[in-house]
């Protein structure tokens, strides 16, 4: 009997925590109203208490580009760098939050890279100068990235006070973080950030198949 009661209690707790979970819907645009894609929205609990559940991520190299351009992970996450091209890539980062190098390789690297320090990480390829991508490593599981319409939703957020951060790899200046309250329902926000337009870096006129 006790056993059944415990199960019921656990189920009720789960149900109530789901019912009470809030979310944040935001639209990110520049001051002229143009939607900003690839902006990171991050909610850090003011309490400093964060569930540790770093989800693994994948950054592919395909068509001699990194996919995706921006990746957000929680500290401790493993990121895989599979090479889907027939040419080799040489992925590197000199960033303080994660310095590493995957020397000239094809296919799947032997093991993923662990991103265990919060911060911004810029990725490049030694062979293809134009290849660039960014990883934002954050101390929270509550984050989202905007799509082309500038929209993003952070779901299943326990109600409480959070510091909201907005970040984009090509932002012109830091956006001050602000403290917000997440309630038991959906909150909507319009956010403004100025970014330098993403201009594809020049690629060689003639593309060899061997590089
Ligand atoms: Cu490359």
Percent of the chain with pLDDT over 90: 78
Residues 64 and 120 in one domain: yes
CA 82 to ligand 1 center in whole angstroms: 12
CA 171 to ligand 1 center in whole angstroms: 25
Residue 61 counted as domain residue: yes
Residues flanking ion ligand 1, Cβ below 5 Å: 89, 125, 127-128
- With cut-offs at 50, 70 and 90, classify the pLDDT of residue 170: very high
- With cut-offs at 50, 70 and 90, classify the pLDDT of residue 25: very high
Q: Which of 17-21, 31-35, 86-90 has the lowest mean pLDDT?
A: 17-21
Q: For the chain, what is the domain count?
A: 2
CA 99 to ligand 1 center in whole angstroms: 17
* Cα 29–chain centre separation: 18
Last residue of a domain, one of 96, 111, 139: 139
pLDDT in tens, 110-165: 999 999 999 999 999 999 999 999 999 999 999 999 999 999 999 999 999 999 99
CA 64 to ligand 1 center in whole angstroms: 6
pLDDT in tens, 46-75: 999 999 889 999 999 999 999 999 999 999
CATH number of the domain enclosing 90? 2.60.40.420
CA 186 to ligand 1 center in whole angstroms: 41
**What DSSP state is assigned to residue 176?**
P
How far from 47 is each of 42, 91, 160, CA to CA, in Å?
15, 37, 9
Give the whole-angstrom CA distance, residue 37 versus residue 150.
5
Residue 88 counted as domain residue: yes
Residues 135 and 154 in one domain: no
Residues 160 and 126 in one domain: no
Q: Give the CB-side neighbour count of residue 3, counting CA atoms within 13 A.
A: 0
DSSP per position, 71-97: EEEETTEEEE--B-SSS-EEEEE--TT
Question: Is the distance from CB of 23 to CB of 158 less than 8 angstroms?
Answer: no
Cα-based angle 169, 56, 11 (whole degrees, multiple of 5): 120
CA 49 to ligand 1 center in whole angstroms: 39
Residues 132 and 156 in one domain: no
> Is a pLDDT exceeding 80 seen at residue 10?
no
- Tell me the average pLDDT of the chain: 90
pLDDT in tens, 86-102: 999 999 999 999 999 99
CA 84 to ligand 1 center in whole angstroms: 11
Average pLDDT over residues 186-208: 81
Residue 206 counted as domain residue: no
CA 124 to ligand 1 center in whole angstroms: 8
Residue range(s) defining the domain that contains residue 189? 27-48+147-197
Residues 124 and 88 in one domain: yes
Residue 18 counted as domain residue: no
CA 89 to ligand 1 center in whole angstroms: 4
Would the pTM count as exceeding 0.85?
yes
């Amino acid at each position: 009997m006790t056993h059944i009661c415990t199960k019921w209690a656990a189920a009720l707790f789960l149900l109530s925590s789901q019912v009470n979970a809030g979310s944040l819907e935001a639209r990110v645009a520049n001051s002229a109203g143009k939607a900003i894609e690839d902006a990171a929205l991050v909610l850090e609990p003011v309490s400093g208490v964060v569930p540790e559940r770093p989800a693994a991520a994948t950054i592919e190299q395909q068509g001699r580009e990194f996919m995706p351009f921006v990746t957000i992970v929680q500290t401790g996450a493993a990121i895989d760098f599979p090479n889907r091209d027939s040419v080799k890539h040489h992925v590197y980062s000199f960033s303080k939050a994660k310095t590493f190098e995957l020397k000239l390789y094809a296919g799947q690297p032997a093991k993923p890279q662990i991103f265990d320090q919060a911060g911004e990480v810029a990725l490049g390829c030694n062979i293809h100068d134009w290849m660039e991508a960014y990883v934002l490593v954050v101390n929270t599981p509550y984050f989202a990235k905007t799509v082309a319409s500038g929209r993003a939703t952070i779901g299943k957020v326990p109600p409480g006070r959070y510091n909201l951060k907005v970040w984009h790899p090509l932002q012109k200046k830091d956006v001050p973080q602000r403290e917000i309250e997440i309630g038991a329902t959906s909150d909507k926000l319009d956010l403004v950030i100025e970014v330098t337009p993403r201009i594809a870096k020049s690629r060689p006129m003639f593309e060899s198949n061997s590089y």
